[in-house]
């Protein structure tokens, strides 16, 4: 074995020892509150990836979509194949610039939160995806205090992922994991329209 290969092996052995000790020190198991926010693309996509992972483990998932209208998306069609373990609720009437009616938007969000609360109270649901909830909270379509209380009152092992831009600081503080998607470059700026399999 060459000196370079031996040096690399020794370096990786030491790194593995450090990593193994780090992993062994983690003993808490709990349901996580995760927030995907930021101006970049991929917040909902990442949440649906978690849903797919959970479904792959045979667990139950509930998706509640706030704001977004009832158009058909690839992820909804694909995940619908798990209909024995997945409940999908698209509760919005479209983005706020489409409806232009605050009272309708508030009513739609209230109805969506009622569905979400039911899922958050069910210990058999392993993951609740609250897609675009951050938008509803940003525009005060739902009372933040009530949302935080309901999230805190969920079953101890239930995971929740909240998506949408401009997550409220109080939600970020309450979360266990916060990922901010940064916008580096976007094809829309070059006139590329939404495309099947990429945006929906």
* Phi, psi at 174, each rounded to 5°: -75, -20
Helix axes of 144-152 and 102-120: crossing angle, nearest 10 degrees: 10
CATH-assigned architecture of domain 31-190:
3-Layer(aba) Sandwich (3.40)
The pLDDT of 65-82, averaged and rounded, is 84
Structure tokens at 59: 């667990």
pLDDT at residue 6, as a whole number: 86
Hunting for tokens 């000790």 — which residue is that? 21
pLDDT at residue 187, as a whole number: 87
The pLDDT of 115-139, averaged and rounded, is 97
DSSP 190: G
For residue 99, is pLDDT > 70?
A: no
For residue 96, is pLDDT > 60?
A: no
The pLDDT of 103-116, averaged and rounded, is 94
Question: Domain residues of the chain, as ranges?
Answer: 31-190
Q: Which of 164, 190, 175, 187 is nearest to 36 (CA)?
A: 164
Q: Which of 34, 28, 26 is nearest to 162 (CA)?
A: 34
With 0-12 / 13-18 / 19 or more C-beta atoms within 10 angstroms meaning exposed / middle / buried, residue 163 is buried
pLDDT at residue 71, as a whole number: 67
pLDDT at residue 68, as a whole number: 73
Q: Could you tell me the pLDDT band of residue 86, with boundaries at 50, 70 and 90?
A: very high
Strand (E) or helix (H) holding 65: strand 60-65
Residue pair 11/5 in contact by the 8 Å Cβ criterion: no
pLDDT at residue 164, as a whole number: 97
Return the higher-pLDDT residue of 2 and 41. 41
Q: Which of 68, 86, 197, 196 is nearest to 131 (CA)?
A: 68
Q: Encode pLDDT of 142-161 as tens digits.
A: 999 999 999 999 999 999 99
- What single string gives the DSSP state of each residue in 16-43? HHHHHHHHHT-------EEEEESSSS-H
Structure tokens at 15: 């790194």
The pLDDT of 100-120, averaged and rounded, is 92
Hunting for tokens 């979400």 — which residue is that? 116
Strands 33-37 and 177-180: parallel
129-130-131 Cα angle (round to 5)? 100
Of 28-37, 83-92, 97-106, 181-190, the range with the highest mean pLDDT is: 28-37
pLDDT at residue 93, as a whole number: 67
Residue pair 131/44 in contact by the 8 Å Cβ criterion: yes
The model's pTM: 0.87
For residue 97, is pLDDT > 70?
A: no
């Amino acid at each position: 074995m060459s000196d370079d290969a031996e040096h690399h092996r020794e370096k990786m052995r030491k790194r593995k020892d450090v990593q193994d000790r780090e992993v062994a020190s983690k003993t808490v198991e709990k349901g996580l509150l995760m927030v995907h926010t930021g101006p970049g693309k991929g917040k909902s996509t990442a949440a649906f990836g978690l849903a797919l992972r959970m479904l792959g483990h045979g667990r139950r998932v509930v998706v509640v979509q706030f704001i977004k209208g009832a158009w058909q998306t690839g992820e909804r069609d694909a995940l619908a194949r798990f209909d024995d373990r997945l409940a999908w609720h698209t509760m919005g009437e479209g983005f706020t610039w489409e409806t232009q009616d605050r009272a309708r938007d508030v009513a739609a969000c209230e109805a969506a939160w009622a569905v979400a609360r039911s899922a958050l109270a069910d210990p058999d649901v392993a993951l609740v995806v609250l897609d675009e909830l951050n938008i509803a909270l940003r525009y005060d379509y739902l009372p933040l205090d009530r949302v935080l209380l309901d999230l805190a009152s969920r079953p101890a092992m239930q995971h929740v992922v909240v998506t949408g831009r401009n997550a409220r600081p109080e939600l970020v503080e309450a979360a266990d994991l916060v990922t901010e998607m940064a916008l580096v470059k976007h094809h829309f700026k070059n006139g590329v329209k939404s495309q099947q399999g990429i945006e929906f």
